[in-house]
Amino acid sequence: MSKPEKSKSKNIYRCQACGHESPKWAGRCPDCGQWNSMAEERRTPRRAPAAFQAPEPLSNVRSAAGDRVSTKIGELDRVLGGGVVMGSVVLVGGDPGIGKSTILLQAASKLPGPVLYLSAEESSEQIKARAERLRIDEGPIMVMPEINLEHALSEAGRLNPSAMIVDSIQTVYTGDLSSAPGSVGQVRESAAKLMRFAKTTGTPVFIVGHVTKEGMIAGPRVLEHIVDTVLYFEGQRGHSFRVLRAVKNRFGSTNEIGVFEMTDAGLKVVENPSELFLAERPMDASGSVVAASMEGTRPLLVELQALVSASTYSVARRSSLGVDFQRVGMILAVLEKVAGLHLAGTDIFLNVVGGLKLEEPAADLAVSAAVVSSLREKPVAPGTFTFGEIGLSGEVRAVSHAEARLKEASKIGLKNAVIPWGNAEKLNGKAYGLRITGVKNVHEAIEALF
């Protein structure tokens, strides 16, 4: 954060760490001593506004629940909760080059009426080149290369677009503050202005936010509480698929994900993500297990890998990517204590293939299966998958959505299911063409899997 130019306005500077207010900028907060924490803010007079809205019975308020527009991109609509809500502000965050501009340009071409694309970091020619590469309908897109938000908003008022896209929030600035674009004060004030525009005109606004190196500072995080919906675009380097995840949604579930594949013609919706995530699964390899997980209301089969090897270090290394580290620690302890596995002195690495995250406890059985498989160098029988939560005494507990998981697995051709006894019992003989083994504890699970 560089020292802003001398301010003519009577703005104030507030420490982002302790809230200390100062009329002058300082590199270090004079109160709490934090470096680079002073951000500019507009001084708002504390007078009561002349006009205000009187309270009214909630039953008289018009319902706006149905006011959604479809982006015609199925996976984006799903993550938004069934299309974008009129007058809502959606933040799309993600690493550089992940495809934020691409998906919004693709969505813009499908929306009815003019869509104002405020491009604050790329020229109109660059947007044109992208649109040509994506072979999209350029008809509805009005491109505006501009970094001044007041200019953009006055044009938006004139144009009355069906949606507005701001690419990106870190490169636009409002003349109300003297600090540089991308600073915490600018990012927050600009977002607040866009929010007011969205609410007063009913225009949906999409804001692109870069995840900056500093992460918290001036990145999308400072905006999360201002906007209505926060979507993060995730993906792994070298992989072509991308996952769009809702981390906050005032108008829908936050458990939904959208799966896309990045191609030279843009982002393509992946109709059957399970197939994609299992496509390169090695056959007959130890340490690899298929987990039937749920992402919101959607079942997803993913490959979980473990590598257990004798440690050459005095402190054994344990790492997990995509599964909760604390939970893995607990499962390993159960495997040692209850199943009698010798894991002391071994390095253990766990990885969910494809950069996905398995956050539900239902992944426990797959974690233990992968560890046992790698430790014993014994592959799990082909066509086998598992799900189930493990308790501290080694019992396997039933999980939700068992039937959806089984159906999805059967759809992509898996054959054997090792699942909690509590779930198997409730199936009343329904098998979805699978051989189902219900297990009560980790012993039985290991027995059934190997």
CB of 280 to ligand ATP, least distance (A): 19
99 binds, among ligand ATP, Mg ion, none (CB under 5 to 8 A by kind): ligand ATP
Contacting ligand ATP (CB under 6 A), which of 23, 30, 74, 97?
A: 97
Residue 324: how many CB atoms within 10 A of its CB? 17
CB of 126 to Mg ion, least distance (A): 9
210 in contact with ligand ATP (CB under 6 A) = yes
CB of 248 to ligand ATP, least distance (A): 19
Binding segment for ligand ATP among 62-70, 99-107, 326-334, 372-380 (CB under 6 A)?
99-107
CB of 96 to Mg ion, least distance (A): 8
CB of 244 to Mg ion, least distance (A): 15
CB of 167 to ligand ATP, least distance (A): 7
164 in contact with ligand ATP (CB under 6 A) = no
213 in contact with ligand ATP (CB under 6 A) = no
Contacting ligand ATP (CB under 6 A), which of 102, 109, 162, 288?
A: 102
Q: Measured from the CB atom, is 260 or 385 closer to ligand ATP?
A: 260
Q: Measured from the CB atom, is 163 or 208 closer to ligand ATP?
A: 208
171 in contact with Mg ion (CB under 5 A) = no
Spell out the residues 6+ positions from residue 97 whose beta carbon is closer than 8 angstroms to its own: none
Can you give the length of the chain in residues? 450
99 in contact with ligand ATP (CB under 6 A) = yes
CB of 97 to ligand ATP, least distance (A): 3
Contacting ligand ATP (CB under 6 A), which of 16, 37, 88, 101?
A: 101
Distance (Å, rounded) from C-alpha 273 to C-alpha 377? Answer: 29
Instruction: Please report, as residue ranges, which positions from 77 to 96 form the binding site for ligand ATP (by CB under 6 A).
Output: 94, 96
Residue 205: how many CB atoms within 10 A of its CB? 27
Contact present, 116 and 156 (Cβ < 8 Å): yes
100 in contact with ligand ATP (CB under 6 A) = yes
437 binds, among ligand ATP, Mg ion, none (CB under 5 to 8 A by kind): none
172 binds, among ligand ATP, Mg ion, none (CB under 5 to 8 A by kind): none
Contact present, 244 and 229 (Cβ < 8 Å): no
237 in contact with ligand ATP (CB under 6 A) = no
CB of 380 to ligand ATP, least distance (A): 34
Distance (Å, rounded) from C-alpha 232 to C-alpha 257? Answer: 10
Instruction: Please report, as residue ranges, which positions from 106 to 125 form the binding site for ligand ATP (by CB under 6 A).
Output: none
Instruction: Please report, as residue ranges, which positions from 61 to 120 form the binding site for Mg ion (by CB under 5 A).
Output: 101
Binding segment for ligand ATP among 100-108, 315-323, 342-350, 382-390 (CB under 6 A)?
100-108
Contacting ligand ATP (CB under 6 A), which of 6, 238, 264, 315?
A: 264
Q: Measured from the CB atom, is 142 or 211 closer to ligand ATP?
A: 211
CB of 360 to ligand ATP, least distance (A): 28
- Burial of residue 347 (number of CB atoms within 10 Å: 0-12, 13-18, 19+): middle
Alpha carbon dihedral 356, 223, 130, 154, in 10-degree steps, equals 160
Distance (Å, rounded) from C-alpha 450 to C-alpha 438? Answer: 14
Q: Which of 344, 338, 312 is nearest to 391 (CA)?
A: 338
401 binds, among Mg ion, ligand ATP, none (CB under 5 to 8 A by kind): none
Q: Where does this chain bind ligand ATP (CB under 6 A)?
A: 94, 96-102, 133, 210, 262, 264
Q: Where does this chain bind Mg ion (CB under 5 A)?
A: 101
